[in-house]
Amino acid sequence: MQFRVKSALTILAAATLLVACGKKEEAAAPAAPAASPTAVIKIGHVGPTSGAIAHLGKDNENGARMAIEELNAAGVMIDGKKVSLELMAEDDAGDPKQGTAVAQKLVDAKVAGVIGHLNSGTTIPASKLYSDAGIPQISPSATNPKYTRQGFKTAFRVVADDTQLGGTLGKYAVETLKGKSIAVVDDRTAYGQGVAEEFAKAVEAAGGKVVAKEFTTDKATDFNAILTTIKGKKPDVVFFGGMDAVAGPMLKQMKSLGIKAKFMGGDGICSTELVKLGGDAIADDQVYCAEAGGVEGEGKAGMEEFKTKYKAKFGTEVQVYAPYVYDSLKLMVAAMVKAGSSDPVKYLPVLAATADYKGVTGPISFDEKGDIKNGALTLKTVRGGKLETLAVIR
137-163 per-position pLDDT tens digit: 999 999 999 999 999 999 999 999 999
- State how far the Cα of 99 lies from the Cα of 95, in Å rounded to an integer: 6
User: Cα–Cα distance between 16 and 25 in angstroms, integer?
Assistant: 14
Whether 9 has a pLDDT exceeding 50, the answer reads: no
Give tens-digit pLDDT for 331-342.
Answer: 999 999 999 999
* C-alpha closest to that of 391 among 376, 375, 378, 372: 378
Which of 28-32, 99-103, 232-236 shows the lowest mean pLDDT across its residues?
Answer: 28-32
Mean predicted confidence (pLDDT) in 281-289: 96
Higher local confidence (pLDDT), 380 or 6? 380
Q: Could you tell me which residue, 323 or 292, shows the higher pLDDT?
A: 323
Confidence of residue 2 (pLDDT cuts 50, 70, 90): very low
The CATH class, in words, for 163-291 is alpha beta
Q: Are 359 and 299 in contact (CB under 8 A)?
A: no
pLDDT per residue as tens digits for the range 46-88: 999 999 999 999 999 999 999 999 999 999 999 999 999 999 9
pLDDT at 394: 79
User: What CATH code is assigned to 39-160+296-375?
Assistant: 3.40.50.2300
pLDDT score, position 31? 52
Statement: residue 223 has pLDDT above 60: yes
In tens, the pLDDT along 286-306 reads 999 998 888 888 889 999 999
What is the tens place of the pLDDT at every residue in 229-277?
Answer: 999 999 999 999 999 999 999 999 999 999 999 999 999 999 989 999 9
Distance CA 186, CA 264 (A): 12
Query: Residue 127 pLDDT more than 60?
Result: yes
Q: 222-226 contacts: CB < 8 A, separation 24 or more?
A: 222/253, 223/185, 223/249, 223/250, 223/253, 224/253, 224/257, 226/185
Question: From CA 135, how far away is CA 41, in angstroms rounded?
Answer: 13
Instruction: Please tell me the number of Cα atoms within 13 Å of 244 on its side-chain side.
Output: 26
Q: Is the predicted pLDDT of residue 35 greater than 60, yes or no?
A: no
Average pLDDT, the chain: 91
For CATH 3.40.50.2300, the residue range(s) in the chain are 39-160+296-375, 163-291
Altogether, the residues listed in the chain come to a count of 394
